[in-house]
Chains A and B, each alone.
Chain A
């Protein structure tokens, strides 16, 4: 069982409530898209799940048990937005990926595992010896995925992983997300502000605003027959949907 459940989760920073009583389930083997604008609390929810933000109320469980936030193994991993801050500039790609692996195994086994993971994210295994500065943004994001997978997670949270990338490379990262879900049966919580991107990778969608989830359900249903006004507003704002504005 690798179902990630948020039960009435609340996160407060001082007086401000960033996440306000959120309940959300990420079913095993599915990609759930979490959509919201800046300040909606979607990233805070993700950080709370991996123990990077303190929980003021509620529970976060993985397969029925609380998510461990101390020691190893860590069955919940996260990939971050900014590819330029997510890899230690002084470590090679191989070292970064190795660090996330569960302890044990010989050196040769670890090296083989690094190669396997890099191939999984479509990177040349030879780049294990490179430092991140020689990689493009899209390549770094794939290394970040490899590092997350190295911890043998049951669930991966992807937080705005394409929003800092050039359009020509974001497609490759999105394809990778779908592929990992399809081929490895990975459970993914996919956070984005971009509805079109979420539509492409997620089977379920939850819409978040001001710390609350205003609507959730199967992607098909939420994106074609939205029940909440805010979802409708978001959908109407997606560029390229309305007819061109020009009068000529």
Chain B
């Protein structure tokens, strides 16, 4: 907590805002004490004087010093703003939390009322209440406070609803904890931060609104004065002494800005710490490693790949800037994919498998850096700078299928148009030809009534249908390679089967190569010829899919296969478990990244990272103890897990 707040002060903007807020608070306390009497001294010889050495901002129509009055008015201005914001927050909290406490039906009524009130701007509400409560300081506090309440109610409602949907609220309700108690124990503490931040910003706005009301003559009345009142008086004399209007105006502005910026900096300071570390050091431009020396080096060492190689990847590295320096998410991956071959990449979250997929298709976000000694698709160097020719080549011969069919289509455009643009951009078709092709391709991926479907929007398709349409989009050209990144993870099992069948059928019909990325060993084993297992950004084993269950040699691969139950798993034995948690590539140790979780690990494993070596045919493995027998599966009873300190 302490650290997060001190981060706010450490930014230049945050520091400035904090200094100003503190200074204003001090002025509010001391101003009237120091200058209260002097500010009321009437000097009839010096009416409406221009700024001078004696009166820095001139005098008003009674000859009183404007600057002193502005300094003294700080207390009243801030006090009124504070009262108004407290009123707004209290009423807003009550209204905002009411739906949670009152339950469905009554709650809905409150929500609807707040929604209607929120649609009316604050100034209108303030005028309404100013009429009801009359002109004057009290009326203005009520007016601005009540006018601000709907916005806070709405904010609170949104925040409360967000927390209420969480399972820990359901768990507390199931345990018999009352709603009010849940509100105070679980909900409010979790929404306190955004509320406080918004209240701070709200205080700045209340200050400005007060000035507005007083400026209209509806706020503080003489002989009391706040900044708005001074402004109101000053405007009347703006032709004689502009400083009479500009000084209180500047004061209002500085105070309003100080509170707003303070709130914003706090919001930003707290927001940034919520785990978006990558965002903070995101300045490195994508550097494409197209240096000629790399290419030359290639020619010497590596034999020309046989002509049926579709994709050739050597020493692929993907690096992203991180809070503590660059993080290598993919650490030296090499493989090739031949015509019509299906290669699976398996791994857990953070293994680098999806990043590998993005890197080989040149879709890594542009603050990430991709390096390789070779990255060739159909003989074209993908590390070379992007050109129109290459775009056309990639657009027609490389197809991509992403994990989430719900979000991977543009929700505001028709499916047909999204397919057709591939053909209009890359194949020179007219819009009509392209649409006809889209219908044809949708039919090819077994979407019934495609001629009607092309005119529909993505949200009118079911998940499975969208994923098939995505595959159809890849087939607009004549792909030689399909890269599918978790294409079925978001789908139901029966739909998953249809999508996998479709991919297989396409592959067989046109000899298309497939790279299938999945966390599911069984899916990959079923669809692919060859499986690469990734761990912490490296390939640890590359083996024929048929060997997965019987001839895997890396202890991680073996554990992965055994840990996942299938329809033939022995029910009398506990499942294999892997202790600890997957290593993030950022924390990859010097030696083998799997050593900490491996039952075979010894001193060498921890000191030296084993290279990926081919042992027989195309079976590659990176382990110093490849193929050694594993100790029998441990019972979970012996396995009390400790939480590693972070």
Contact = CB atoms under 8 A, between A and B. Distances in A.
Whether A associates with B in a native complex is: yes
A171 B646 contact: no
Interface string A113-132: 00000010011101100100
Contacts of A197: 565
A233 B493 CA distance: 10
B493 A193 contact: yes
Contacts of B637: 122, 179
A80 B167 contact: yes
Given A139-B643, A168-B348, A239-B496, A196 B342 contact: no
A167 B348 contact: yes
Contacts, number: 207
A59 interface: no
Interface residues of A, number: 79
Interface in B505-531: 508, 519-523, 525-529
Given A73-B176, A233-B494, A248-B529, A239 B574 contact: no
A41 B632 CA distance: 40
A167 B564 contact: yes
A135 B173 CA distance: 23
A15 interface: no
Interface stretch (B263-271, B295-303, B576-584): B576-584
Interface string A220-248: 00010000000001111111111011111
A236 B497 contact: yes
Nearest to B498: A237
A122 B640 contact: yes
A134 B643 contact: yes
Nearest to B524: A239
Contact of A234 (B174, B348, B494): B494
B168 A96 contact: yes
Contacts of A11: none
B565 A174 contact: yes
B569 interface: yes
Given A85-B166, A123-B641, A138-B581, A166 B349 contact: yes
Contact of B176 (A38, A71, A166, A171): A71
A246 B560 contact: no
B116 interface: no
A123 B348 CA distance: 22
Q: Which of A72, A127, A150, A239 has the most CB of B within 10 A?
A: A239
A74 B174 contact: yes
Most chain A beta-carbon contacts within 10 A, residue among B504, B521, B525, B578: B578
Contact of A77 (B174, B186, B521): B174
Interface string A60-102: 0000000000111110111011100111111100001001100
B619 to A, nearest CB: 16
B172 interface: yes
B171 A86 contact: yes
Contact of B493 (A37, A176, A199, A246): A37
Contact of A239 (B190, B349, B520, B571): B520
B577 A245 contact: no
B640 A124 contact: yes
Interface of B: 165-168, 170-177, 185-186, 189-190, 340-342, 348-349, 492-497, 500-501, 504, 508, 519-523, 525-529, 545-546, 559-560, 563-567, 569, 571, 574-578, 581-582, 597, 636-637, 639-643, 645-646
12 contacts: A52-B174, A90-B190, A147-B171, A167-B564, A194-B493, A199-B571, A238-B566, A239-B520, A239-B522, A239-B525, A240-B522, A240-B526
Given A100-B175, A172-B575, A196-B569, 18 more contacts: A73-B176, A74-B175, A86-B166, A123-B640, A127-B643, A148-B171, A151-B174, A168-B578, A169-B577, A170-B563, A172-B577, A179-B637, A237-B496, A239-B497, A240-B566, A240-B567, A245-B501, A245-B504
